[in-house]
Chains A and B, each alone.
Chain A
Amino acid sequence: MIMIEAVDKWYGQLQVLSECSASIDQGEVVVVCGPSGSGKSTLIKCINGLEEFQKGQITVDREPIKSASTNIYKLRSKVGMVFQNFELYPHLTSIENITLAPMKVLKRSREECVQRARKLLQQVGLSAHGEKYPSQLSGGQQQRVAIARSLAMDPIVMLFDEPTSALDPEMINEVLDVMVDLAKSGMTMVVVTHEMGFAQRVGSRVIFMDAGKIVEDRKCPDFFSNPNSDRAKAFLSKIVKH
């Protein structure tokens, strides 16, 4: 479903991704982890073209990102994305946040979109909050609305960019529960996260990155029980300690 082939990216002189290659199949839940600044977020932002890369190619659903013939907007509409800071539209209610893209991009009717939005809000446990503005919701609730907003586009894959990093511990779980349900429903997911518990529960593979390189790409249980590289061993020993 997603092919990442030898992607290199520089910010000026600074190389932030080097020789990154990976492939993600339908229905897989791939967890991307690694220390801060290792290029995790940058890599998944390359998948929907929010970040440009200078070398290599990424193919989503057989369509190459870097190609004149690809309609990047159409491609993005098939790829859902959830951000660290939720990024809801603050001037719109939950329902309006969810219905904006389906109405304006997919040209669906308002009634159809609102109906779908209510169903999605129910799915993420927020049926009572459709008419509220983001500033009236807690962080965890905002992130769940953001997930519903992405799902409203019927994406073929969902990208999560540290979805729980800006949340306090109580709220982390309400968001993770939604993500676990989503994973179990068969959604293809790429998740940048430090939540190793989530990775162990539903992850099919772990991609471990350091300094812009993919250091390990392993089946989930193997990575935790028997990491290959010293860097991953050091990383795991540090985060499991507490």
Chain B
Amino acid sequence: MNYHWHWSILVEQPYLSWLAHGLAVTLTLSGLAWLIALPLGTLIAVLRTGPWKIGRVIGACYVRVFRNVPLIVQMFLWFFVFPEVVPKTFGFFLKRQLPFPEFTMGLLCLSFYSASRLAETIRSGLETAGSGPKNAALASGLSYVKTYRFVLLPMAFRLVIPPLTSEFLAIFKNSSVALAIGVLEITAESHQIESFTFQGFEAFTAATVLYALISLMCLILAGLFKRYLSNAGGLGAEVAIK
């Protein structure tokens, strides 16, 4: 192999600012997607396990639709198909007037997709929390909303911190799929550096290291959060088993 290594390209302009821009986009996209997906996923999980039949049906349909279609297909659907099937004026707004159209549609897509996965994770936590504490809360006169708010969800979140951490990381990694509709995040910027300089090894090494650093930071944060929760009434193993 006759490859000219040229690592310094990563600190040269404009490539350094391209990477910095990519990093900023990845962090913003994933961070915002997380902020939307967590409450949405929680809501869907509550609907799926709740007492109202219509809610259970809505929750199940949501999860089936968004979890069973590949993310990249959903990206294309949101960006190319969705603006065509909504009423004309709204479609026009999406195509012509929406600020940062790729980013916005990518964000919506990633959020809705991640919410379906989070919903399943949180649902497993709600089901592990079990019917016992739920019955106890209802028997004391708490409404379903308050039972979820004060008993079931706090229990469920403590139980699912490890899988929730994986989901958090998955959102970061899945954000790279948004390059398919033209969002210039880390992977796309690295690809661009490769196209301009033919230094693909260096460019994608940079992307790899950035993703790894982000993931590592998330793991440390999750660890701290877990320690904080186990000081404040963490669930012992006996609850997880019961």
Contacts and interface: CB of A to CB of B under 8 A. Distances in A.
Interface string B199-234: 000000000000000000000000000000000111
B3 to A, nearest CB: 56
A81 B136 CA distance: 7
Nearest to B149: A104
A135 B140 contact: no
Bin chain A's interface residue count: 20 to 34
A87 B133 CA distance: 5
B139 A48 contact: yes
A133 interface: yes
Contacts of A48: 139
A90 B235 contact: yes
Contact of A135 (B138, B150, B238): B238
A73 interface: yes
A126 to B, nearest CB: 17
B142 A73 contact: yes
A90 B135 contact: no
B143 A73 contact: yes
B122 to A, nearest CB: 15
A90 B239 contact: yes
B158 A77 contact: no
Contacts, number: 81
A132 to B, nearest CB: 10
B139 A79 contact: yes
Contacts of A93: 233
Given A83-B135, A90-B155, A150 B140 contact: yes
A101 B142 contact: yes
Contacts of A90: 133, 155, 233, 235-236, 239
Interface residues of B, number: 25
B140 A101 contact: yes
Contacts of A77: 140-141
Contacts of A105: 140-142, 146
Contacts of B140: 76-77, 80-81, 100-101, 105, 149-150, 153
B164 to A, nearest CB: 16
Contacts of A100: 137, 140, 142, 150-151
Interface string B120-141: 0000000000001101111111
B155 A87 contact: no
A76 B141 contact: yes
Contacts of B146: 104-105
B242 interface: yes
B154 interface: yes
Contacts of A74: 141
Interface in A140-154: 146, 149-150, 153
Interface in A192-232: none
A6 interface: no
A50 interface: yes
Contacts of A22: none
Given A83-B132, A135-B236, A50 B155 contact: no
Contacts of A153: 140-141
A73 B155 contact: no
Contact of A133 (B143, B154, B155, B233): B233
17 contacts: A48-B139, A50-B138, A76-B141, A79-B139, A81-B140, A85-B242, A87-B136, A88-B136, A89-B151, A90-B239, A91-B155, A92-B233, A100-B151, A101-B137, A101-B141, A105-B142, A149-B136
**Which 6 residue pairs are nearest across A and B when measured between Cβ atoms?**
A77-B141, A135-B236, A101-B140, A87-B136, A81-B139, A91-B233
